[in-house]
Structure 1
Amino acid sequence: MTLPQHIGFRCGEAFVTLCFFILGANIGSFLNVVAWRLPQGRSIVSGDSCCPGCGKSISRRDNVPILGWLWLGGRCRSCQSAISSRYPKVEALTGGIFLLFYFLQLISGGAALPLRTINLYRGVLWTVMFAKWDLIGLYLYHCFMLATVLAAVLMIHDRFRLPRRLQLFTLTLAAICPLLFPTLILIPAFPAIPTGSYSATHAPPACLLFSLAGLTGGAAAGQLFSWFSQRTRMPSEQRLPAGDLKWMFAFVGAVLGWQSAATFLVFALALLLFCRWLTDGSRWGPAWLLAALLLHHATWRLHWIWIPTM
């Protein structure tokens, strides 16, 4: 490969990487809408974004994720009232999450995924250009999970209760997806089902068992976490609603398996105690739950090695 060809190839890789960040930032922009409108019973698909001060619709050129807020200096073009910096922060955070797991899960050939043989051919060319759809599907499915949890964290931070329709929709979707796309299952519900055997691990009964075990085990983990938080000295206003906690852990269990819900519980408890030791815990709000899930997911393959067969 000549030097110009090599430079062109690297530029192409950088462009694809940027596209994944832009995808995440746009999802983050949508999460801002979901977190604000859904708890108030407003539509998340119709109606333009408006200035919180004057109520005037924000034009499309000013609504570009991250850049739009920077162009306007954090103020409305019409009335010059301040627009919260939370919007670009959420967009940048979501873009960063998509980018992080783009490197850890996708172009690494699945290096962060447990009980899965890492792809021999890796990188942008061999996983994205010559699409490995099983790997891309896992990446998008897990990003959907992380984005949903982020939206829930934003709602809880704003002291909204999670809408029941959001909980039912996400749990139903998480339970159905493994039935429709069995390759989304990485860890079987029980060791009696051999891994690596498509006919056994991905048969409809095994997929259904995976979803049911994930939902049940996750809900139990959420109940246990709620019980623990009630018996600590955490002020009542800092405690998260028990129903929301059970939903979050059940959702993670349905997507990743009941084993991951259990390890997510361990990470969440450890971070909770660390945050309370570091500060009074009040400024962290529910953010440590997202941090615990990100930490779990980034080290999934590493810590799974040390977990005895369940």
Structure 2
Amino acid sequence: MHPMLVYSSSISLWGLEVFTAVWCFVMGSVIGSFLNVVIYRLPLGLNISKPKSRCPVCETPIQTRDNLPIIGWLLLRGKCRTCQAPISIRYPIVEAMVGCFFLLLYFSLVHSGGRFVPYRIPNKFWGAYQILEGHTWDLIALDLYYCYLFVVVLAAAYIQFDRQKIPLRLLMWCFVIGFSTGLFLPELHPVPAMITAAAKPTATDLILSEVRYHGSLHWGFQGASLMTLWWGLFYGGIVGFLYSWPLMIQKEKPSTLFQSGTSCLLILTGLYLGWQQVVTVGFLAAFCLVCFQMVVRNRKAEHLPLPASAFVAAVLTLQLLLGKYLTLLPGETSTTVYMIIVGCQIIAIPILSGLAKTIYRKRETHSLFQESISVDETSTLTE
């Protein structure tokens, strides 16, 4: 081939790669902008589409040019154009987080040809040109499936961070969409419920995968899909209960750490990812939760008041991006070792959650004690 044609082709492919990456980030930031509206309005029972976004201080509608994700906040320098009231930096942070996740998930799923998906044999080719050739329809569908789960869990975590109750319709819509699409699109569940050592991809499977067409989607009901969804819901319920069990026994005022609805996020995780991955998410979330509480144990409870759902969202993000390297599946080790590891993870979840709750309670008690001392000192000085 002529060198100029090769150079032109490489430039075109590079341009396609850049355009696809930018498009993913922009779409993610746009959805993040809408997510800010959902986080604020949905718990209050307000309409998420009307009225138009406006300044909460002067109630002036925000102009279209000022409503651009991230850029609008930067151009306004974090202040309302009319009354100069400060605009929380949380809005561009949410937009950037969703945009970055959409971009990273695109590289992890579609661009890589499925190399980070647990159990699935990756495509022979990778890159944005696979989209044009139609070799990635299953990965694109999986990408959208995972993005929706991430957006819902992130919104729920922020709602709990604001000390609001997660709206039931947010969870119900996620459940209905996840169950209905997962039931009739088997490609959305690359990890089946039942995996044995014999089911592990062999060398012959790897050779055949080089010519296998991965891009098609098969619409139709399959019993295996129903079993995968059922086991995912079952284990999601177990992990959700074990992770948030301190909420069930607390008799005092609602805690900032464990709030109602956290277990539902793990149930949805089991529905979307399967039982093998929800066990991993629950264990890692509990582990990160107790580690965080140990690090901030000497600070006041009002500082860094992250709810337990925030750690579910963080670990879920890693699981969606790097699931192949975070999830141990049957066939990768002996059945006995696998069952021991999974059993230890399940047993460790309530222990770690209880330990995190204990540390948090000590932080609360210490904060109240310090406040009472401050009040007594102030009274003494006043007298």
Q: Give the counterpart letter for 1:227 in structure 2.
A: W
Give 2:95's match in structure 1, choosing from 88, 91, 97: 91
Find the counterpart in structure 1 of residue 206 from structure 2.
Answer: none
Find the counterpart in structure 1 of residue 312 from structure 2.
Answer: 289
CA distance in 2, matches of 1:215, 1:273: 25
CA distance in 2, matches of 1:65, 1:99: 15
Find the counterpart in structure 2 of residue 48 from structure 1.
Answer: 52
Measured after TM superposition, the shift of residue 297 of structure 1 is: 2.5
RMSD in angstroms over aligned alpha carbons?
2.6
Measured after TM superposition, the shift of residue 156 of structure 1 is: 0.5
Q: Is the 8 A contact 2:152 2:170 kept in 1?
A: no
Q: Is the 8 A contact 1:268 1:292 kept in 2?
A: yes
Give 1:267's match in structure 2, choosing from 280, 284, 288: 284
Measured after TM superposition, the shift of residue 240 of structure 1 is: 1.9
Q: Give the counterpart letter for 1:120 in structure 2.
A: K
Q: How does 1:125-136 map to 2 (within 5 A)?
A: 125-126=129-130, 128-131=131-134, 132-136=136-140
Q: Is the 8 A contact 2:13 2:129 kept in 1?
A: no
Q: Is the 8 A contact 1:106 1:136 kept in 2?
A: yes
How many pairs were matched up? 303
Unaligned runs of 5+ in 1: none
Q: Deviations over 1:90-117 (max 9, x none)?
A: 0001001111111111100011101111
Q: After the TM superposition, which parts of structure 1 deviate over 4 Å for at least 4 consecutive aligned residues? A: 192-196, 228-232, 305-310
Q: Is the 8 A contact 1:98 1:143 kept in 2?
A: yes
Tell whether 2:84 aligns with 1:80.
yes
CA distance in 1, matches of 2:199, 2:72: 51
Measured after TM superposition, the shift of residue 284 of structure 1 is: 5.5
Q: Is the 8 A contact 1:29 1:87 kept in 2?
A: yes
Measured after TM superposition, the shift of residue 85 of structure 1 is: 0.8
Q: Is the 8 A contact 2:243 2:286 kept in 1?
A: yes
Q: Deviations over 1:43-77 (max 9, x none)?
A: 11232111111111111111010001111111111
Q: How does 1:107-256 map to 2 (within 5 A)?
A: 107-126=111-130, 128-131=131-134, 132-191=136-195, 204-227=222-245, 237-241=255-259, 243-256=260-273
Q: Is the 8 A contact 2:113 2:124 kept in 1?
A: yes
CA distance in 2, matches of 1:249, 1:289: 8
Q: What percentage of residue pairs aligned between the two structures are identical?
A: 34
Q: Deviations over 1:98-152 (max 9, x none)?
A: 11111111100011101111111100111x2223110100011111111111111
Measured after TM superposition, the shift of residue 159 of structure 1 is: 0.5
Q: Is the 8 A contact 1:175 1:212 kept in 2?
A: no
Measured after TM superposition, the shift of residue 39 of structure 1 is: 0.4
Q: Is the 8 A contact 1:264 1:296 kept in 2?
A: yes
Please report the TM-score for the alignment, with normalisation by the length of structure 1: 0.89
With over 3 angstroms needed to count, the CA separation of the structure-2 counterparts of 1:210 and 1:64, relative to structure 1, is: same
Q: Give the counterpart letter for 1:150 in structure 2.
A: L
Q: Is the 8 A contact 1:39 1:155 kept in 2?
A: yes
Measured after TM superposition, the shift of residue 305 of structure 1 is: 4.4
CA distance in 2, matches of 1:66, 1:137: 27
CA distance in 1, matches of 2:312, 2:324: 20
Q: Give the counterpart letter for 2:24 in structure 1.
A: F
Q: Is the 8 A contact 1:185 1:256 kept in 2?
A: yes
Q: Deviations over 1:155-174 (max 9, x none)?
A: 00001111112222211221
Q: Deviations over 1:220-263 (max 9, x none)?
A: 1111011267799xx9633222x412210000000001221111
